[in-house]
Amino acid sequence: MKKKLSLVVLSILSVLILGATLPSKTQAAEFSFKDQYSLETGKSVNDNLYIFGDDTKVDGTVYGDLISFGRNFKLNGYVTGNVYAFGQNVTLTELAQVDGNLNIFSFNAQLSGRISGNTTIFASSVNYTGTVGEDLTIFTGDSILSGDVGDDLRIFSSNANITGEINGDALVLAQKYSINERKVGKKIYDQKAIDLIAKNQGVDLEKNSDKEWIPREVTFGIKLNNVLIGFASMLIAGAFLIFMSPVKTGLVVKKINSSTEELLKSFGIGLAIIFLGWIPIIFLLISVIGAPLAGILFGFLLFIMIFGCVWVEIVIGREILRLFKVNEYRPFKSFLIGRAVTTIAKLIPVIGGLYTFVVTSVALGAFVRMKKDFFDKQSLAVTKKTKETKKK
pLDDT digits (tens, 9 = 90+) for 106-115: 888 999 999 9
pLDDT at 257 over 70: yes
The rounded distance, in Å, linking the Cα atoms of 70 and 357 is 29
Q: DSSP letters of 110-128?
A: EE-SEESS-EEEE-SEEEE
3-class secondary-structure state, position 248:
helix
Residue 14: predicted pLDDT: 47
pLDDT digit string, tens, across residues 127-175 = 999 999 999 999 887 889 999 999 999 998 888 899 999 999 999 988 8
Calculate the dihedral angle through the C-alpha atoms of 9, 12, 14, 19, rounding to the nearest 10 degrees: -160
The rounded distance, in Å, linking the Cα atoms of 365 and 355 is 16
The confidence band for 305, taking pLDDT boundaries of 50, 70 and 90, is confident
pLDDT at 91 over 60: yes
Residue-averaged pLDDT of the chain: 80
The rounded distance, in Å, linking the Cα atoms of 111 and 97 is 11
Which residues make beta-bridge pairs with 106?
87
- Work out the number of other CB atoms within 10 angstroms of the CB of residue 254: 16
What residues contact 387, with CB distance under 8 A and at least 6 apart? Answer: none
- Work out the number of other CB atoms within 10 angstroms of the CB of residue 83: 27
Q: Residues 16, 30: contact at Cβ < 8 Å?
A: no
Of 119 and 1, the structure prediction assigns the larger pLDDT to 119
The confidence band for 285, taking pLDDT boundaries of 50, 70 and 90, is low
Which residues make beta-bridge pairs with 144?
127, 161
Residue 122: predicted pLDDT: 82
The predicted model gives 11-36 an average pLDDT of 57
Of 144 and 198, the structure prediction assigns the larger pLDDT to 144
Beta strands, E only, 70-168? 72-75, 78-79, 83-92, 97-98, 102-111, 114-115, 119-122, 125-128, 131-132, 136-139, 142-145, 148-149, 153-162
pLDDT at 228 over 70: no
Q: Residues 99, 114: contact at Cβ < 8 Å?
A: no
pLDDT at 17 over 60: no
Nearest CA-CA partner of 178 in 189, 195, 163, 191? 163
pLDDT digit string, tens, across residues 46-89 = 989 988 878 899 999 999 999 988 789 999 999 999 999 887 88
Q: Residues 65, 49: contact at Cβ < 8 Å?
A: yes
Residue 197: predicted pLDDT: 84
pLDDT at 123 over 50: yes
